[in-house]
Amino acid sequence: MLFILLFVYASISKLLEFKDFQTQLGQSPLLGAFAIPISYGVICIELVTSILLAFKKTRIQGLYIAFMLMVMFTTYIIIILNFTSFTPCSCGGVLETLGWTEHLIFNTVFIVLALWALYLIEQVTTKQIALKSISLAIIGFAFVLGLFVSSEKEIKRNNAFQRKYMPHPIEKIGEFDLKYNSYYIAGIDDNTIYLGNYTTPLSVTELNISHKLFKEYKISIDSMHLPYKRVRISIKSPHIFLGDGTIPIMFRGNINDKNASVFSYNDAYFMEFIVIDSTNIGITTKSSKNLSDVVGRLYKTIESNSITLNHDVLTQQGNYGTFDTNGMLLWNAKHQMFIYTYYYRNSYAITDKNFSYQLTSKTIDTISRAVLDIAHYAKTDIYKLGGKSIMVNRKSTTYDDFLYINSDRLGKFEDDKVLRSAGIIDVYNITNNTYEFSFYLYHQPDKDLNHIQVYKDLLVAIVDNKLWLYHLKPKYFNNGFKTKHTVQYQE
């Protein structure tokens, strides 16, 4: 009865929202290529299984099919969580509100129930039930795995460009186990690396670079009553800034006394912010006209304050500017300029300190127009970005004369196996806006680079729950370096 209730409810929910169901499957990195046949097939097999379960003569067959379906659904979740970069949900009704952990628990319970029911009513030995169940589980697992291997996946190879790889331009200093994967880089100075934590947003963890010692403490703020959603910390010693963005509030304090008071309130909503100095903040926000990304500057002193937005820096390419203008805002202190690297195209824009547009330059990739997988969900009238969108520039950072961009796009002659345990870093010279060279940043296998930041000759990276420190060798990272003398190609 539970299985009948589950499958009938799930299939009817999918039928009532069939267009959205197909759209969700189409955005799946695992099932996208087979969205149409699978959308019909899942509904049909759920209803047929319910009918088989309803009659005593066919109940055993129905239970075996139900068991195999739950194994397949569970395999799908495991692959989505561990081997893809995008996690859609194609469930219906109340099941859509479950998290992925809850989904796994839910499916496991029903797998156990199916086996228990078969044990109670199947007129064969326990060994025979086990053999049939294992065989069906293997078939279900193999089927979903086959879809994963053969389905259309994100395109990562582009033979239209070729990287220049340097022979060992960085040297590993050390690696540290952070225990959890919720950390991000909040700031770096001569002695200390400051880490923020997404799950405990007021916590700061300091790593003393010389002594390799960790220290953790909390920042006190004077307005705890507001409905915060995404507090982030940025530290430019001795100043510490905390911002939310979903609430137009920002705090400023001193890292020594670990207290922060309101710096700005009701001046601007923002998505990200970057600290220039104690009175200037760069922000990214959304245009009220077309929802495209906009950059701006928040300036505040005791005597005056101002917020200026420049709508002309970031260029919209199509009707979905809310996605194609997405990117990462950086501040280069040496040249007193902002750099905005687009996620989905081979470009970065440069402005001065006041966000006056200077120029737009190209990266070595050839995707100049964003390739986006955008779906419209009719029920909620919402547009969402799917897993088959091509991200050109993943992470970026800048220091001195260089811009460092992490990309998982493969160029000519490159082997995708290296991406299992390394990130590709492309280096650009921002004084003449030229591509210089690339190098591999090696880390633990099967994990993605989450954060990267360069300070002087130190490269800091967070990969899942590990912090990696690398030394940038001076002969490669200085103004007089000429790549043509020492470059080697990856072939």
Instruction: Report pLDDT digits (tens) over 142-188.
Output: 988 887 776 644 445 566 788 888 878 999 999 999 999 999 999 99
State which H helix or E strand residue 47 sits in: helix 35-54
pLDDT at 486 > cutoff 70: no
* Maximum CA extent, the chain: 86
pLDDT band at 487; cut points 50, 70, 90: very low
pLDDT digits (tens, 9 = 90+) for 308-367: 889 999 998 876 657 889 999 999 999 999 999 999 999 999 999 999 999 999 999 989
Task: Find tokens 């923002």 and name the residue.
Answer: 270
pLDDT digits (tens, 9 = 90+) for 103-155: 888 899 999 999 999 998 888 888 888 999 999 999 989 988 887 776 644 44
Q: What's the rounded mean pLDDT across residues 437-452?
A: 93
Residue 40 DSSP symbol: H
Q: How confident is the model at residue 342, as a pLDDT?
A: 96
Q: How confident is the model at residue 321, as a pLDDT?
A: 59
3-state DSSP call for residue 3?
A: helix
The answer to whether 369 and 317 are in contact (CB under 8 A) is yes
Nearest of 215, 221, 218 to residue 243 by alpha carbon = 221
Q: How confident is the model at residue 488, as a pLDDT?
A: 37
Nearest of 372, 402, 441, 468 to residue 169 by alpha carbon = 441
The answer to whether 428 and 416 are in contact (CB under 8 A) is no
Per-residue tokens: 446: 């099967």
pLDDT band at 491; cut points 50, 70, 90: very low
Cα–Cα distance between 314 and 292 in angstroms, integer? 8
Residue 350 DSSP symbol: E
